[in-house]
Amino acid sequence: MANYDNDATLTFSLKDEHEQEMRTILYTVYTALTEKGYNPVDQIVGYILSEDPTYITNHKNARALIRKIDREELLTSLVRNYLKL
């Protein structure tokens, strides 16, 4: 049985949820590209720069998945994570 007597407050952030969704999609795409023998980093960068979906394999539905991510939002997240902001 859950204890609801403490004063702790649970928080939920849509931003955190969205970041996790992007991370999950990128890992799936990375895995699919690796399984097909591609250099996944080069292929993902090519897609981000060009928005040409042919950089991404259809294996594991990776091409459809990566198109769910807004490229500008992805780049913003990547820069923030790189700079640890």
Q: Tokens for 65?
A: 């998945």
**Mind giving me the DSSP string for 41-53?**
HHHHHHHHHH--G
From the centroid of its chain, how far is CA 83?
A: 17
User: Which residue stretches of the chain are H helix?
Assistant: 14-35, 40-50, 62-66, 71-83
pTM comes to 0.79
pLDDT digits (tens, 9 = 90+) for 35-55: 999 999 999 999 999 999 999
pLDDT digits (tens, 9 = 90+) for 59-82: 999 999 999 999 999 999 999 999
Q: Please report the pLDDT score of residue 18 as a whole number.
A: 85
Mean pLDDT in residue range 19-46: 97
Q: Tokens for 1?
A: 């049985």
